[in-house]
Amino acid sequence: MVPPEYYLLLSAAVFCIGLFGILTRRNALLFLMSVELMLNAANINLVAFSYVWGNITGQTFGLFTMALAAAEVAVGIGIILVLYRSFDGVDVTDATTMRW
Amino acid sequence: MVGIFDFTPAIVLLPFVSFLIALAVGDHLPKGGALAGITATAGSLALAIGTVLAVAGGRTYDATLYTWAEGLEAVNLTFGVLIDPLSALMLLIVTLVAFLVHVFSLGYMNDEDETGLPRYYAGLGLFTASMLGFVVADNLLMAFMFFELVGLCSYLLIGFHFREPGPPSAAKKAFLVTRFGDYFFLVGVVAVFGTFGTAAFVGSESFPALAEAALRGETSVNTFGFAPQTWFTIVGLLVLGGVIGKSAQYPLHTWLPDAMEGPTPVSALIHAATMVAAGVYLVARMYGFYAISPTALAIIAFVGGFTALFAATMGLVKREIKQVLAYSTISQYGYMMLALGGGGYVAATFHLMTHAFFKALLFLGAGSVIIAMHHNEDMWDMGGLRSKMPVTYYTFLSGSLALAGIFPFAGFWSKDEVLYETLLHGLDGDPILLAAYAMGLLAVFFTGLYTFRMVFLTFHGDPRSGTAEDPHGVRWNVKFPLVVLGVLAAVAGFVNMVPVKKVTGLKIDFLHKWLEHGYAGLTVEHYGELLHDFPHYGSAGLELSPLGPGAVSLGLALAGAVVAHRLYNVPEPVEHTDRLGEIKTVLYNNYYQDEYQVWIANGLTRSIARAANKFDGGVVDGVVNGVSSVSLFSGSRIRRIQTGVVSNYAVLLTLGLTALILAFGLAGGWFV
Amino acid sequence: MIIEALIAVTFLAALVVFVAPNAAAAKLAAALSVLPVVGSLWMWAAYDASGNALLGGEIAFETDVVWLTAGGLDLHWFVGVDGISLPLVVLTTVLTTLAIVSAWTPISNRESQFYGLVLLMEANLLGVFTALDFFAWFVFWEAVLVPMYFLIGVWGGPNRRYAAIKFFVYTNIASLVMFIGFIALVFGLGDSVTSLRLPEIAQALRAGELGGFAGLDAATLKTVAFVAVFIGFAVKVPVAPLHTWLPDAHVEAPTPVSVLLAGVLLKMGTYALLRFNFTMMPDVATALVVPIAGIAVISVIYGAMLALAQEDLKRIVAYSSVSSMGYVILGLVAYTTYGVGGATFQMIAHGLISGLMFMAVGVIYNTTHTRMVGDMSGIADRMPVTAGIFVAGAFGYMGLPLMAGFAGEFFIFKGSFASTVHSAMPLFTAAAMFGIVIVAGYLLFAMQRTLFGPFSFDDDYDVTTAPFHDVAPLAVLLLLTIVLGVAPDLFFGMIQEAVNPILTGGGL
Amino acid sequence: MTPDALALQTETVAAWTALAPAILLGLTGLALLGVDTLWPDDPSNAVLAGVAAAGSILSFAVTGWFLVAGTGQASTGGAIALYGDALVVDGMSLFFTLIFTVVTAMVVVAAYDYLDDHSHRAEFYSLTLFAATGMAVMATANSLATVFISLELASLPSYALVAFLKTDRGSVEAGLKYFLIGAVSSAVLAFGISLVYAVTGSLVLGDVAAAIGTPEMAGVLGLGVLMILGGFAFKTASVPFHFWAPEAYEGAPAPISAFLSSASKAAGFAVAFRVFVQAFPLEAVPAGVDWVIAFQVLAVVTMTLGNFAAATQENVKRMLAYSSIGHAGYALIGLAALTAGGPNGDVLGASMAHLLVYGFMNTGAFLFIALVEHWGVGRTFEDYNGLASTAPIAAVAMTVFMFSLAGLPPFGGFLSKYVLFYSAIEAGFWWLAAVGAVNSALSLFYYSRVVKAMWIETPVADFEIESRPVGLYTAVLFAGVGTLLLLPGFGPVIETAQTVAATLF
């Protein structure tokens, strides 16, 4: 079988890719997608180690995570819409009326 | 049974009551409270006479009347009354002079329609009360407290004319200079308490007695790590600081001439009987403590002698009559100090008494002249007053003869004894005493000179101004005190004619006898023993006829008088000061004593204070404000992290977490 | 219960005045503030306890109930007085009433708030001087700041905002430093104390039951805590160089507030120093005698020199307070009956005299609208009575015998000169005593320039005699000063009874 | 009371009833939606606010009753575990629920006036209630799964609520930032949880605690722990996950700022306390994973940054936002001052008590801001000048909040901060207390600026304040009275907090 460390490395890689996206992308939607990547990195771990440990806790939680991710996106899209309306654009770096 | 001594507190309290009366209802009283004051002082005088008679009967009195602070597991601080020959005599002098000054004030203040009379008489009353309290004090602390009150009164009275610029300044100076001396006095008082645990003057547990016992090795006291002899000298000199301040000895004499800004009766009171006398009286009061310290005695004598000469020279060139008297006062108290230092306890007391009479007389006489001259004090505007105001003239003359020390007036006997005692003990081989004696002797000549310069300029020759042509007359209330004092100035010396005794063998040194009884530790004999045992005065046991020295000093005095006669007893006298050349300016400026003292008090101290203020505002407070401004600045920087760009937040967030993880990873060794 | 009654009455009075209409507030506050005066005087008359409240002596009018339990240690409502605190209670009530009366003229806006806050502060001050449980005490201690902040901030002079905030934050930081030091000490005591009652802590500390804590061994902990607590209180006193909030606060505060600030609030600091540092940790205090006495001397001389450099009458008196408080520190560290007792007495004396001076300055200010020495001259010509009392008060400040100031200072000098805690104490004493010359210097200079000489005044206000209710408080204070100066035993007896237990044992 | 409480443990009443507070909140939220749908056209604000307030107050009452009755506490047989230990009702959960419910009540009452001229009121109330439900569940979450889910349940409505003022750029921006940071944080949290699961093979806190003793993969475990810590740091607005807070609080509708800064923050601490104490007990964690140090760092940095940044603000609302970051730092002491075998119950309890008091005073302060916004007065300190002359009562309340936040007596904040520092020193962390003391001294500076503006300064322009909104006034005064009463009434609070906290160890 595949040693668990590999799963960890994979998930870490995915997580970092997501993080990289967040740090570099200014488009709100891409930002959201990157977050999804990070969440899925977590899911990789959960599922993999659910197998390693031989219990389904991980898989179940993985499902929950996906559902929550969807909900999050729903709320996020809403917010991005109003963002688009009031700042006519989805560039997250435009909204800087409040600072310091 | 109720004895006269039960009324001793009344001697002090009567003037105090008059102070309260004048203060409270003075405005509504006739003569603004003067009568209350006169009555009170008269009462005090009567009681004082009674006390003196009782003491003459061989009785003495020492009682603690009030516990000011009761120490638990610590000493009590008390007020008490000590009546012995010395204090009784002083009571008599003070009450008499105070009484006469009150009477004189009727003429000087009331008749001249001065304002603020209640304040004036309240001041006089408190002044008298404080001085009397000081005189009867039976311990050093009480003495100090009344000593200070005397200082307060002098401030109030010197500054009586507070609406003019001069008096307030003079009053401030008087208090400040004496306060400087009193600082050392207070340290001395505290030190006495710390050393002996008591400040009583009399009794086997009194601090002089304890000090003597300690030196004789009979007991031990806390001398703070010094040798007893050294420590007692230090303490004695500390107390002496107050004496030098109050008795206007060099270098703290500068306040006294300025104090002439006060009303003339006040000057009489201050200089003759109260404030200035207080210093010398204090030394006499605790003479047992000084007698055991050669160093202290030598310093006292030297300071005295120097002051006597020093002040006399300055008296030569003054224009205002009161200024001359002021410097003569300083000079005369120098003599008393000289006597005390020279072991002439009786002589000092004697001169204190005679001086009280003739100096009061001279001031009151001067006051009468000033009334006559419509408050013009410049002697060069006077002249020829002899015919206009004979009573004043002859009494003033009597006082002057006494001051100059002309036989047989009072001053002659006392000053003569002062010099004699000093010389006698100096010849035991004490060069400092001899030096002091020499200065004292030289001062005699100057005394005669300035005294008669004053007399001639004021009363002889032709009038030199309109006012001198027809002076303002004076009434009985001025003349009466003058006459009384004039007589005393003439005859007071007969109470102690030591030379005569020495020559004729008659037992007529009444003052000696007077001071020989009383409390064991406070008698002349005891002081004699102390002087013999510790500074070894008179140990050589040499005999010296009083006639020689007496003749010398009398000769010098007469010489001074003659010179004055030559220079100033002419129809049109002129200033001869130019002959002095450069010295003249020096003398006019009083050897620049005021200048440097004013510079210390004002220039130096104030600039230090200003520097301290800058430091306080800049550094000390600067740090405080600095802390706050630094915090606020760092705050304004910290908030800059919040750029408002959400991507930066993500970056910072990631960096923060990464930093945390790395730190822990490295510390926890996860990555091995 | 008299103490609770006292505090409660004052609180209620404060509330009543708060809601009263502005017009009536002044008189109402004065009338109500008489109640605590009566109460405290009754306490003084009825007082017959002896000994030190912290060291097992009798505690008069005691109440002790558990309030709440937090963090293992009970917090008590524990109040009572002994010979040290009772005089301060009396001082507080009397001075507050007089300050209220003296506020009638200068305070002309938002009166009800002003007098309400004054009474509120009085209530808290009473709490500070009577509380014997650390927590209750600390609550009152901090609560005093709030009314003071408003009193300075709302009714103060032009620069009042700065002064108020400075006072507020500075003293609050100090309190927190003190708090940490003290709590660390309490935990260092471990199980030997079951509550925060000061007597318990004091006795445990003196019994040497302090253990190590937080990595510090007992000795170090004690020293560190002592220093922390000392600094915390030194700011309140204030001791140089922690004094700079004081002149600003005084100059900006309205006169009645200055009176309370100098008269009572500064005493909080010295009182706390006596109760905490010098009663609980005499061994550390005597070990640190040189720095402490040094600070005292510096405060005396430095404060006096600063006063000498001031042109503003209020600043002069403010800095001279720093100077006078230096004497108190010197007396405390002497550990003799007269030293510590005199220090306590000096708190009262200085409270009265500094109050008198501030009021006198205020009365002059009321008509001249300036406090600058240079702006006026010959005021005595127009305001003879005020000037007279001013002079009397000034001489009291200079330590004129038979006035309270001299008694306090002389006791301190006598006690500290003979102190055995260090061989150099006589030198420290002599050095500090020179303050009496400097104080005479600046007060005499100031009086000569303002009160005396020919009358001249730049502004066009007509300088007239002050109204009766301005002068009356001055007269009362002057009278009290003289009474205490002539008969210091009125307080000094009970003070000594409370002080003497401090001087023995506890590592001394 | 006790019989009923005991009854809850027996079969007569189903154990799930112990969740009544959370359930009530959730039902109220649904009910509000129902009202909205059934009601012809726009339902009346009063009804909605009434329902919301009633629901939260009822839930508050029930919680209080449970707490007094001893449900889930030692007196009645200890914590009630439900659904395979996924949830647990114990004293601590009830204590926190108390905070959430009372804050929710105040917020909805205040919102009654605040929403007067807005649409979508029903959504506002119901979202608030749902968020509250999430928080109540957070307090009971006993498994990392429920922790994550309940946390999201609390967060998602909050995002929407912050952006509630759709047309207001500030509100939208705040919502965006809050949401994006929140999303990242939740991802981090999820990943952390997955890592912990990877190491321990369980999500139930107890089992995790049992499994972490094994040293292998300590690094992964530590990574997971720190990431979980990060997730909670977001909820509690602690450095470095605090960046959303200033903007979110400033831009959001003031009642929501109050809600987030008080209740949501408390919820974050609730889970943090439970997870770290129960899942990673100090006795068990491997040496390399000493999370206490991390919390110490966070506590110091957070309180310092919050206070220093707050000191230089011109905008009162933003100042309060930073100050609430600072207070998060104080509350973190509860975790930072833990020691193996130390007086942990006292420390944690003190922190909980502080959060309760903070719930009152901070909510009150933000609601005062809401009141001022309602009046249309500006947000800067200058705009507040002389406000006391026009609205003295509200100004008095605000003064109480400010001094209480600064930790001055005689207010609740003084006592809670006192006990917090006290217990920190007790635990031996006197330097933590010292840092906290310095900070609260500095905080006094900026809090008193508000007081100064209101009372001392003279108004620049006279205010046109026509209305005295009853709801806002009620909420503000309630908070004020609570802040005052918490000084004398602090005894039972701190005792309860410290007892319930002690049972966690």
Instruction: Quote the tokens at residue B560.
Output: 């001074």
Asked if A98 reaches chain B (Cβ–Cβ under 8 Å), the answer is yes
Asked if A16 reaches chain B (Cβ–Cβ under 8 Å), the answer is no
The region of weakest confidence among B332-336, C316-320, D217-221, D400-404 is D217-221
**More confident of the two residues B19 and D465:** B19
* Residue in chain D nearest C138 by alpha carbon: D409
What's the pLDDT band for D284 if we cut at 50, 70, 90? confident
| Nearest residue to D434 via CA among D316, D322, D291, D333 | D333
Does D5 score more than 70 pLDDT?
no
Please compute the mean of the pLDDT values over residues C21-30 and round it to a whole number. Answer: 91
Please compute the mean of the pLDDT values over residues D152-157 and round it to a whole number. Answer: 94
Please compute the mean of the pLDDT values over residues C408-430 and round it to a whole number. Answer: 91
Query: Could D201 and A53 be called an inter-chain contact, meaning their C-beta atoms sit closer than 8 Å?
Result: yes
Query: Could B164 and C453 be called an inter-chain contact, meaning their C-beta atoms sit closer than 8 Å?
Result: yes
Question: In chain D, which residues have their Cβ closer than 8 Å to the Cβ of C138?
Answer: 409, 418
C60 phi and psi angles, rounded to 5 deg: -80, 145
Comparing CB atoms, the residue among B649, B656, B668 nearest residue D289 is B668
For the beta carbon of residue B666, count every other beta carbon within 10 angstroms. Answer: 11
Alpha-carbon distance of C195 to C68, in angstroms, equals 10
Does A12 score more than 60 pLDDT?
yes
Comparing CB atoms, the residue among D403, D425, D440 nearest residue C187 is D425
What's the pLDDT band for D26 if we cut at 50, 70, 90? very high
In this predicted structure, what is the pLDDT of residue B385? 82
Asked if C426 reaches chain B (Cβ–Cβ under 8 Å), the answer is yes
* Residue in chain C nearest B178 by alpha carbon: C437
Percent of chain D with pLDDT over 70: 97
CA distance C139 to chain D (A): 6
Question: In chain B, which residues have their Cβ closer than 8 Å to the Cβ of D227?
Answer: 657
Asked if D340 reaches chain B (Cβ–Cβ under 8 Å), the answer is no
CA distance A72 to chain D (A): 7
Please compute the mean of the pLDDT values over residues B412-437 and round it to a whole number. Answer: 86
Question: In chain B, which residues have their Cβ closer than 8 Å to the Cβ of D311?
Answer: 631-632, 635
Query: Could D309 and B655 be called an inter-chain contact, meaning their C-beta atoms sit closer than 8 Å?
Result: no
Residue A32 CA to chain centroid, in angstroms? 7
Task: Report helix, strand or coil for C78.
Answer: strand
Query: Could B642 and A93 be called an inter-chain contact, meaning their C-beta atoms sit closer than 8 Å?
Result: no
Domain ranges of chain D: 290-505
Does B384 score more than 60 pLDDT?
yes
Tell me whether chains C and A touch (3+ CB pairs under 8 A). Answer: no
Does B578 score more than 80 pLDDT?
no
In this predicted structure, what is the pLDDT of residue B321? 85
**More confident of the two residues B536 and B239:** B239
Residues pairing with B223 in the sheet: none
In this predicted structure, what is the pLDDT of residue D3? 42
- Computed over every residue of chain B, the mean pLDDT equals 86
Answer whether B296's CB lies under 8 Å from B290's CB. yes
Answer whether B637's CB lies under 8 Å from A9's CB. no
In this predicted structure, what is the pLDDT of residue D126? 92
Comparing CB atoms, the residue among B640, B647, B651 nearest residue A100 is B640
pLDDT digits (tens, 9 = 90+) for C248-293: 999 899 999 999 999 999 999 999 999 999 999 999 999 999 999 9
Does C426 score more than 70 pLDDT?
yes
Alpha-carbon distance of B12 to B135, in angstroms, equals 9
B neighbours by CB contacts (3+ pairs under 8 Å): A, C, D
* Residue in chain A nearest D84 by alpha carbon: A57
What's the pLDDT band for D215 if we cut at 50, 70, 90? low
Domain ranges, residue C477: 2-503
In this predicted structure, what is the pLDDT of residue C76? 87
What's the pLDDT band for C432 if we cut at 50, 70, 90? very high
Going from the C-alpha of D120 to that of each of B90, D32, D117, D160, the distances in angstroms are 104, 11, 10, 12
Cis peptide before C158 (omega within 30 of 0): no
Q: What letters, b where the CB count within 10 A reaches 16 and e where it falls short, cover C174-208?
A: bbbbbbbbbbbbbbbbeebbebbbbbbbbbbbbee
Instruction: Quote the tokens at residue B138.
Output: 């039976």
| Nearest residue to C29 via CA among C85, C103, C137 | C103
Asked if D190 reaches chain A (Cβ–Cβ under 8 Å), the answer is yes
Task: Report helix, strand or coil for C260.
Answer: helix
**More confident of the two residues B672 and B545:** B545
Comparing CB atoms, the residue among D426, D438, D491 nearest residue C71 is D426
Q: Are strands C73-81 and C376-377 parallel, antiparallel or unpaired?
A: unpaired
Asked if A5 reaches chain B (Cβ–Cβ under 8 Å), the answer is no
CA distance A65 to chain D (A): 8
Alpha-carbon distance of C56 to D122, in angstroms, equals 66
Asked if C214 reaches chain D (Cβ–Cβ under 8 Å), the answer is yes
The region of weakest confidence among B22-31, C96-105, C236-245 is B22-31
DSSP state of D43: P
Alpha-carbon distance of C255 to C152, in angstroms, equals 10
- Computed over every residue of chain C, the mean pLDDT equals 89
Asked if B670 reaches chain D (Cβ–Cβ under 8 Å), the answer is yes
Give strand ranges (E) for B84-149.
none
Cα three-residue angle C369-C374-C378, rounded to 5 degrees: 80
In this predicted structure, what is the pLDDT of residue C506? 65
DSSP B25-46: HGGGSGGGGHHHHHHHHHHHHH
Report the residue of C301, C414, C433, C434 to disrupt the B interface, i.e. the one with the largest count of B CBs within 10 Å: C414
Does D4 score more than 70 pLDDT?
no
CA distance D119 to chain A (A): 16
In this predicted structure, what is the pLDDT of residue B671? 66
Does B651 score more than 70 pLDDT?
yes
Please compute the mean of the pLDDT values over residues D230-251 and round it to a whole number. Answer: 91
What's the pLDDT band for C70 if we cut at 50, 70, 90? low
Asked if B646 reaches chain D (Cβ–Cβ under 8 Å), the answer is yes
Does D10 score more than 50 pLDDT?
no
Instruction: Quote the tokens at residue B358.
Output: 């003739």
pLDDT digits (tens, 9 = 90+) for C439-486: 998 999 888 888 888 888 777 777 778 888 888 999 999 999 999 999
Please, what is the end-to-end C-alpha distance for chain B in angstroms? 109
* Residue in chain C nearest D389 by alpha carbon: C110
What's the pLDDT band for D1 if we cut at 50, 70, 90? very low
CA distance D474 to chain A (A): 31
| Nearest residue to B621 via CA among D286, C98, C322 | C322
Question: In chain D, which residues have their Cβ closer than 8 Å to the Cβ of B649?
Answer: 177, 181, 243-244
Q: What letters, b where the CB count within 10 A reaches 16 and e where it falls short, cover C376-390?
A: bbbbbbbbebbbbbb
pLDDT digits (tens, 9 = 90+) for B278-335: 889 999 998 989 988 889 999 999 999 999 998 888 888 888 888 888 898 999 999 9
Report the residue of B141, B169, B615, B616 to disrupt the C interface, i.e. the one with the largest count of C CBs within 10 Å: B616
C neighbours by CB contacts (3+ pairs under 8 Å): B, D
Answer whether D416's CB lies under 8 Å from D449's CB. no
Alpha-carbon distance of A25 to A20, in angstroms, equals 8
Question: In chain D, which residues have their Cβ closer than 8 Å to the Cβ of B666?
Answer: none
| Residue C27 belongs to some domain of the structure | yes
Please compute the mean of the pLDDT values over residues D276-301 and round it to a whole number. Answer: 88
In this predicted structure, what is the pLDDT of residue D477? 93
Alpha-carbon distance of C460 to D245, in angstroms, equals 58
CATH number, domain A4-88, options 1.10.10.10, 2.40.290.10, 1.10.287.3510, 3.40.50.10420 = 1.10.287.3510
| Residue C337 belongs to some domain of the structure | yes
